[in-house]
């Protein structure tokens, strides 16, 4: 990216020479439009604002401005940068999107003046959301029902449900169940989020950020979310490795909800602003691989261990934007 500007044009835009202007960054894009889980970020040396997933900082060396991104989460986070440049060029194409591994720091891109003796500036906005935009779901995997073998619960809202399963939540499933029902992992992975400090909920969007939930990252980079859980009901914490069928928490009625139930979906990110849920199949006592339908009751089959078909996705992307 280059600019061919006259000195008069540049001076009309800037009163001071070589002044860098940094815009305030956007707050992180809500991970879930309907049942967003709000979390405080892990502590860092810079003491970022509560709820921040990333810290962005720069370093000027030898005429280059280096942009670094620190992930404050245990989970992968995908960030997208939009940049406005005056008399500057970058080694990346904007909008620039990159996934940063949990608790890691990467150099995202660099900027430098095109004409060194002329004024220059830059401004940017960023957006970011949990997940890995390089993840490729293993469609051959069949999920266990997220409750104990032998138990049966009715699906109150399936894929494309009218109440709330639209947009990024179109491939989510809700089961009606009493508060305190044991919830079991539908697939193995690592716990990357765990919230159980909320005790409020109801059929009003003011409760969107009040849902207790557990997020488990799978070997293919996708993430499973279990939401509306009971206050103080989680039995796992961030960093725990869980196997399919393990007890992870207890159902509740927190967040944006019309009654006690469990919400489950598997998702990946597209960029720092967008994520998509993914259609998955479940194993029941009557079917080996089934897409669940609203209004039907399904009985959980004994857990069946499956070998992972894909290696863990490399999540540190220092190179090209997408």
Tens digits of residue pLDDT in 79-104: 999 999 999 999 999 999 999 999 99
Residues 34 and 91 in one domain: yes
Tens digits of residue pLDDT in 119-147: 999 999 999 989 999 999 999 999 999 99
2 in a structural domain: no
Start-to-end C-alpha separation, the chain: 16
Residues 24 and 158 in one domain: no
Tell me which residue range forms the domain holding 256: 142-299
Residues 295 and 155 in one domain: yes
Residues 147 and 246 in one domain: yes
86 in a structural domain: yes
Residues 116 and 235 in one domain: no
pLDDT at 51: 57
Residues 175 and 121 in one domain: no
Q: How many CB atoms lie within 10 A of CB 32?
A: 26
Structure tokens at 203: 């059929």
State which of 108, 130, 152 marks the end of a domain: 130
Domains held by the chain: number: 2
Residues 117 and 214 in one domain: no
pLDDT at 205: 84
The whole model's pTM is what? 0.76
Residues 114 and 151 in one domain: no
Q: Any idea what the CATH number is for the domain that residue 208 is in?
A: 2.70.70.10
Q: Any idea what the CATH number is for the domain that residue 122 is in?
A: 2.60.40
Residues 264 and 162 in one domain: yes
Residues 147 and 293 in one domain: yes
Helix %, strand %, coil % for the chain, to 5?
Answer: 5, 40, 55
State the Cα–Cα distance between residues 316 and 268, nearest whole angstrom. Answer: 16
230 in a structural domain: yes
CB 41 within 8 A of CB 72: yes
Residues 256 and 195 in one domain: yes
Convert 70-86 to b/e letters by CB count within 10 Å (16 or more is b). bbbbbbbbbbbbebebb
Bridge partner residues of 242 (DSSP): 189
**Could you tell me how many residues make up the chain?**
322
CB 304 within 8 A of CB 287: no
Flag residues of the chain having pLDDT under 50: 1-50, 310-322
pLDDT at 36: 41
């Amino acid at each position: 990216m280059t600019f061919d500007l006259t000195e008069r044009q540049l001076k009309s835009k800037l009163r001071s020479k070589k002044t860098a202007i940094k815009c305030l960054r956007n707050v992180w894009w809500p991970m879930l439009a309907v049942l967003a889980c709000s979390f405080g970020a892990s502590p860092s040396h810079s003491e970022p604002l509560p709820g921040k997933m990333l810290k962005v900082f720069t370093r000027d060396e030898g005429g280059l401005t280096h942009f670094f991104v620190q992930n404050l989460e245990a989970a992968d986070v995908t960030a997208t940068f939009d940049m406005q440049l005056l008399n500057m060029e970058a080694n990346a194409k904007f909008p620039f999107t990159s996934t940063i591994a949990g608790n890691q720091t990467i150099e995202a891109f660099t900027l430098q003046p095109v004409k060194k003796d002329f004024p220059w500036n830059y401004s940017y906005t960023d957006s970011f959301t949990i997940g890995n935009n390089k993840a490729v779901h293993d469609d051959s995997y069949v999920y266990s029902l997220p409750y104990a073998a032998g138990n049966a619960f009715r699906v109150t809202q399936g894929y494309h449900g009218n109440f709330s399963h639209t947009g990024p939540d179109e491939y989510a499933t809700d089961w009606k169940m009493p508060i305190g029902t044991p919830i079991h992992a539908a697939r193995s992975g690592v716990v990357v989020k765990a919230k159980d400090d909320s005790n409020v909920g109801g059929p009003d969007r003011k409760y969107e950020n009040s849902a207790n939930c557990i997020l488990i990252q799978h070997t293919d980079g996708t993430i499973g979310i279990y939401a509306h859980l009971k206050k103080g009901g989680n039995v796992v914490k961030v960093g725990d490795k869980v196997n399919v069928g393990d007890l992870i928490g207890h159902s509740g009625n927190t967040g944006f909800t019309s009654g006690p139930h469990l919400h489950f979906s598997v998702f990946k990110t597209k960029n720092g602003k967008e994520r998509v849920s993914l259609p998955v199949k479940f194993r029941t006592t009557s079917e080996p691989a089934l897409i669940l339908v609203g209004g039907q009751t399904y009985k959980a089959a004994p857990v069946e261990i499956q070998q992972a078909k894909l290696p863990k996705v490399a999540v540190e992307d220092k190179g090209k934007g997408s």
